Structure 1
């Protein structure tokens, strides 16, 4: 288990401190949470696991109000500005990543945050304003759907949208989101079901990637406060083959307008 440490920004919005943060403690079972892609597709044993118990460790780079709360990594968005937590280190070009996640919005009078979990290139010079991000959870706060995407240079995007099979993506309901990256394909999973698989070579960059959690604000807009929490994060290698088929519809190919 990785130790974690957080330096809380002094400028954290005072109003957010009053938000209802308390929740039931995260599970401490060897394979916590509901049935998920890792145990459904036979990925164990896990290579790296992050449990968010205790202070956040120095391997996390944070911006905005990021804290650990009852065994969960918590990002809090106020009236403006992005909030991020990015995992430092060498990253991985291939493998499997999964999170147990929930999100909540406080109010609807203004603009909603986007709650995102992505793999981003470890090398900042390779990020090109998001043009190589691989997103495996992108939910606009308050909406009962989530986007999945892989961006590729120079300005390509492969995207799809999913809706929950059971409880909604809103209202603090727990869900698991996962992505598997091999040399020939990318597969996305929601609540232990494979929902999309991309095999077109143009989508496969091969760059080492790391995890970034983000509450994305709209520049110049007043935002409705929001919260995003992760109970755990897992990483598996590709050493063990999938025990179930990863065949699924492929994403829609389009363009990514913000490449730089």
Structure 2
């Protein structure tokens, strides 16, 4: 009987100690980059180690996200949200010093919110554009993380260079209303690489495509001039910027872009 009582007492003490001890999550015992979460290019290629500027869009919209055009730009439920009217474009540009080189990545979705008789669908566009007061050249020096028209399922990536070149590539994806995807671009001295959903899709190495200028991120729902449009919404769950200090942990070998003409440069 005494042996049984001793065994029960030891078991109770062990159970009490387990109950009162602080809970330790397995994730807390490893570095942040190993905490389980969405798979994206930043953790797949090992960029996380240096120089991250991150936006989670929780709380009021920071003043450095500058709205342009018609519509609404606000934070909402931990997302940066762009809402259009039935005419004209709306955009949000990061008004901070730009970077000539580095890695940018976003998690985004978009949807058409209604119909307008005779209306057209908006384009969903995320670009790196010349930072600060540098000339925009009507998009002539932009790099696109993504560009697609609502209602289609093909994402376009590109880099525009002056006077009128466009190096561009295309990737099929399910872009139905509110489908989340991640988009990234790495701009290095000797190449530019594009990623969708943590998979590399293009790498451009031709010197004529490597236009060194400080750039910054811009989100846009782009209209067809002043035509009537179907109202739309674009939302970003997060964005990241990393420097080039961390070497890629995987190859960035991928097909180059096709060379075309960008007729809107000025």
State the TM-score, normalizing by the size of structure 2: 0.83
- Cα pair distance change 1:130/1:140, threshold 3 Å: same
Equivalent position SS for 2:176: coil
Instruction: Name the residue aligned to 1:90.
Output: 97
Structure 1 residue 99 and structure 2 residue 106: aligned? yes
- Aligned-residue offset at 1:248: 0.6
Instruction: Name the residue aligned to 2:259.
Output: 253
2:228 to 222, 230, 240: 222
- Aligned-residue offset at 1:58: 1.4
Instruction: Name the residue aligned to 2:186.
Output: 180
Instruction: Name the residue aligned to 1:71.
Output: 78
Q: What's the Cα RMSD here? A: 1.6
Is the Cα contact below 8 Å between 1:33 and 1:100 reproduced in 2? no
Instruction: Name the residue aligned to 1:24.
Output: none
Equivalent position SS for 1:126: coil
CA distance in 1, matches of 2:191, 2:64: 29
Structure 2 residue ranges without an equivalent (≥5): 1-31
Answer 1 or 2: which has greater helix percent.
Answer: 2
**Is the radius of gyration larger for structure 1 or structure 2?**
2
1:159 to 165, 168, 182: 168
- Aligned-residue offset at 1:123: 4.2
Structure 1 residue 232 and structure 2 residue 238: aligned? yes
How many residues are treated as equivalent by the alignment? Answer: 229
2:144 to 135, 143, 153: 135
- Cα pair distance change 1:61/1:33, threshold 3 Å: farther
2:48 to 25, 44, 51: 44
CA distance in 1, matches of 2:197, 2:245: 22
Runs of 4 or more above 6 Å deviation: 29-32
- Aligned-residue offset at 1:114: 0.4
- Cα pair distance change 1:33/1:212, threshold 3 Å: farther
Is the Cα contact below 8 Å between 1:132 and 1:150 reproduced in 2? yes
CA distance in 1, matches of 2:55, 2:194: 20
